[in-house]
Amino acid sequence: MTPVPLNRAGLAIAFVLAGVFAISINDMLVKQLSGGYPLHEIVLARSAIGIAFSLIIVQFEGGLGILKTRRPALHLLRGLLVVVANMTFFLALAAIPLADATALFFAAPLFITLLSIPILGEKVGPVRMTAVMVGFAGVVIMQRPWADAGQLEASRLVLLLPVVAALTYALNQLMTRKLGVDTKASALSIYIQGTFIVVSLLFFAIAGDGRFVTDASSPSMQFLLRAWVWPTRTDTWVLLGMGANAAVIGYCLSQAYRMADAATVAPFEYIGLPLAVFWGWIIFSDLPVWEVWVGIALILASGVFVFLRERQKARGITRGPLQRR
């Protein structure tokens, strides 16, 4: 008998809100550390600590036996998608303000709504599709295609990194919905943390001595390829906290997307936008330029509209069939 996907929208929303708050803390800390440590060192430390916390959660969800899977290739693909999403986003953080990177990354819920059609077979009507297109218009405005290269904080390639992160993150969460039918959230988190550890160790073996970076390298390339540094006592505690936080992120987001439809859960990730603006202002004294504010407004408006449309559709189902506009 084929397992039936869970449908507990209220609990899924609570999990995604907790996960997004934890992500905002993580992103702020990564940006703080990006000037002194290589990305793969931060990721390895965070994931090694995170997997230890996740193993504790595994014991409460059924023990080590729940880590067995009949679809290892799909779990590996999902893990690699998360690695790409995190790496590309973190590389952007080293070069552009936190709010800017986060706002561009919030193309992810738009991608999730769009890709849920072919991947999950979910139905998205023309009204919601129009809202998604409005959100993507906000992404284009934040890219400032009319500006000269000298007017931008970083190269256009760096500005595209959060969009690449958004696409791979969206694919990951849609796979979570499929794999979460018969896999516990803690196991999903373990697979991701394990993939991070393997990829980080490969980076260390190839570039851990800093041989591929120079003073002339861009901030993003320096963050990716600089030599490993033994952390200070204060930063050691920060890395420990990031590891525990990583376990919270992996568990909460895996639970959210296995408990409800992707198009229902995704709009609640927009709470990350005001959180990013808040941390950017408080910690880094950065506030978005007007183009980013416009983009944020369009993305938030499209996300809220899609959510309200989902609620309207749900009410219609309880009363009788409604014609899809």
Residue 216 — very low, low, confident or very high, per pLDDT cuts 50/70/90?
low
Average pLDDT over residues 114-140: 84
pLDDT digits (tens, 9 = 90+) for 103-114: 888 888 788 888
Residue 2 — very low, low, confident or very high, per pLDDT cuts 50/70/90?
very low
Give the residue ranges of DSSP H helices in 61-107: 72-93, 98-105
Structure tokens at 117: 């059609």
CB atoms within 10 A of CB 147: 11
Average pLDDT over residues 223-248: 89
CA distance 173 to 168: 9
pLDDT digits (tens, 9 = 90+) for 313-325: 554 433 333 333 3
Candidate from 92-101, 186-195, 233-242, 290-299 with smallest mean pLDDT: 186-195
Task: Return the closest-CA partner of residue 172 out of 206, 195, 199.
Answer: 195
4, pLDDT greater than 80:
no
Q: Tell me, what amino acid is at 40?
A: H
* Residue 127 burial (10 A CB sphere; 0-12, 13-18, 19+): middle
pLDDT, residue 6, reads 54
CA distance 293 to 273: 10
pLDDT, residue 307, reads 66
Please count the CA atoms within 13 angstroms of the CA of 227 that sit on its side-chain side: 7
pLDDT digits (tens, 9 = 90+) for 26-40: 999 999 999 889 999
pLDDT, residue 185, reads 72
Task: Return the closest-CA partner of residue 113 out of 181, 75, 163, 167.
Answer: 167
